[in-house]
Chain A
Amino acid sequence: MAGVTLAPGVTLFDLAHGRAPDEPASSKVRWGMLVDLNRCASDCDACVTACDRENGLPSEKTATSAQWIRKVELKDLRGATRSVPVMCQHCADPPCVDVCPTGASFKRADGIVLVDRHTCIGCRYCMMACPYKARSFVHEPVTGQRPEVPRGKGCVESCTLCVHRIDRGGIPACVEACEATGHEAILFGDLNDPHSEIAKRVATYPTTALRADLKLDPGVRYQGL
């Protein structure tokens, strides 16, 4: 939900992003995120814990546990370090969707890449194809599921951009948590709307797409990389 202050005490709320349950997603919208690495603190993992809590993911991090968002620590040749949140990049041309034999991996009209849990057969070809290692295979029986985020052993899953929140007009849990810490390193919005904050920032500042050489046109961009 976006808010604009017209005058002290008078606030206009933009409810346009919420959709009725029977209203399909629109291709006029392209949801995306801009991660400002100058604001992202190395010792902060609020986005990760918020994602785990929101989506009922295990907090223990092992080679077999699902991780929809992770902090990748970078060290350059001079020894300077960076901390980068990496999640599904919601590509415009997602390789995971191309390779999925049953069509379980799909891209919504508004650019969100999802997995249909009813048709995923657990072949993991999408995990072989994803250049961002953004997908996880559920290796164990799932406990503590959230009603809005169904998960299941034997299926592949990844960041949904908190689609259940977006469809109600909300913002992803990681973005909300980052804002709550005061870092405000992750900006969420409609890349297609030239008046949105994210579109303005992308148009104004140099941003980076991960693995730009592949020309997958990801919906997640990075500033300061």
Chain B
Amino acid sequence: MSRAAFSRFETRGYWLLVLVGGAVALAGFLAAHAMETEGHVITGMDNQVVWGMPHVFAIFMIVAASGVLNVASVGSVFGHAVYKARAPLSGLLCIALLAGGLFVLMLDLGRPERVVVAATHYNFRSVFAWNVFLYSGMFAIVAVYLWTLMERRLAPWSKPVGIAAFVWRIVLTSGTGSIFAFLVARQAYGTALLIPLFLAMSFAWGLAVFLVVQATMYAWNGLSLPAEAARRMRHLLALFVVTVGFLVAACHLVNGYFAKNLAFERFILVDGGVYPALFWAVYVVAGSVVPLALLWRSGATTRDTVAAALLVIAGAFALLYVFIVGGQAWPLEIFPGYRTSSTFGDGAIAHYAPRGPEILLGFGGLAVAFLVTVVGVRVLRFLPQDDFPVAPSTAPAGR
């Protein structure tokens, strides 16, 4: 393909991606508008399951946003050159995912037009209020960090700003985990273990997203990742997947040991229908065991790594669905020792079936993250720079 032909192909491809991303983001926005005008009654959420599919999408993106910056941290804070070259892309993906997550979270509010109230009225006892600062601060710190990475004169500042971003994102993910860790009411939550679990999840999910985007960018530009960089990142993802698995197992084993929580654990892990199915089949087998087998396979290829990363992301959605929706589906135990019933779902397992508007809103958030990434990558130089001399022969002919 000639240079001109490739350029035409690339430009058309870029606009096609922008068009698709824009259309999905618009559909998500329109879905949120319908929820605002007609009320949440058009969603599957109710007074039993108050947080549903939008929260699964939003929390995935916010947790992954923090974790994707890990690549930059390993480079800037711990000085690994392979990762340092990937810091700008890591920062861009962090901003993109955070924007996508907040798009969903804000538009799912019962009164989204009052988002300014959330920015002007603070209850500092609320983890949610802390998170308003943590999320907005994250945007600012990562923007400055990207600036120090891309402007040569500011290069000396990249390490201290990188350290600040590293600390900030650890606090941010701890804050996201604390949203659930501080809930005393429900058996699924209310444990400090959720904070390290969320940190581990952010590392795994963020790196998985990074690997998929990186592989796509390399393929788009006809390049191949250096073997050493690929090996390191593959093994790092495997380590994070194992860490998440360990902490998930610890949470369930500890919770299951307490007799008062045994019935809940049985529900989530054994006889709760969709929840155990998602947990074991999608999170454990497809989202953890299979990716580990792919990542640890001798002679693993880029295709194996991308497949593993995509499976880790699918497992993440399943795990969050079980955690967030399953945790609410189990009834509150207000009267221990009694069987209860009422018109308000007391004693009954709640049924939640996500409907079109909330699913569209979730995908709209993903589309926002996608759009920010595609436009960012096109407008600025985010392709890792250290690799061009390594595999120039694989570049498209005529380049």
| B131 to A, closest residue via Cβ | A101
Q: How many A-B residue pairs have CB under 8 A?
A: 173
Interface of B, helix, strand, loop or mixed by DSSP:
loop
When A61-B344, A133-B334 are in contact, do A128 and B129 touch as well, CB less than 8 Å? no
Q: How many Å lie between the Cα of A99 and that of B181 in the bound state? A: 12
Quote the shortest CB–CB distance from B325 to chain A (angstroms): 12
Binary B-proximity of A60-90 (CB < 8 A = 1, otherwise 0): 0111111100111111110000101010000
Q: How many Å lie between the Cα of A65 and that of B46 in the bound state? A: 8
Any chain B CB within 8 A of the CB of A214?
Answer: yes
> Which of A12-20, A24-32, A151-159, A170-178 is near enough to bind chain B?
A151-159
Residues on A with beta carbons closer than 8 Å to the beta carbon of B117:
102, 119, 121
Contact indicator A74/B340 (Cβ below 8 Å): yes
Any chain A CB within 8 A of the CB of B183?
Answer: yes
Q: How many residues of B contact A (CB 8 A)?
A: 50
Contact indicator A73/B47 (Cβ below 8 Å): no
Interface members, chain B 307-363 (any A CB < 8 Å): 328, 332, 334-335, 337-347, 350
Binary A-proximity of B41-62 (CB < 8 A = 1, otherwise 0): 1000011101100000000000
- Among A77, A125, A127, A225, the residue within 8 A (CB) of B47 is A127
Q: How many Å lie between the Cα of A225 and that of B122 in the bound state? A: 39
| A71 to B, closest residue via Cβ | B342
Q: How many Å lie between the Cα of A66 and that of B47 in the bound state? A: 8
Q: How many residues of A contact B (CB 8 A)?
A: 56
Q: How many Å lie between the Cα of A214 and that of B343 in the bound state? A: 25
Q: How many Å lie between the Cα of A123 and that of B122 in the bound state? A: 14
Query: Would you mind naming 6 contact pairs between A and B with Cβ atoms under 8 Å apart?
Result: A101-B129, A102-B123, A127-B50, A128-B185, A131-B334, A137-B110
9 closest A-B pairs by beta carbon, nearest first, are A122-B110, A154-B110, A101-B128, A131-B185, A63-B46, A61-B343, A103-B123, A139-B41, A74-B338
Q: Measuring CB to CB, which residues of chain B are less than 8 angstroms from any residue of chain A? A: 36, 38-41, 46-48, 50-51, 109-112, 114-115, 117-118, 121-123, 125-129, 131-132, 179, 182-186, 328, 332, 334-335, 337-347, 350
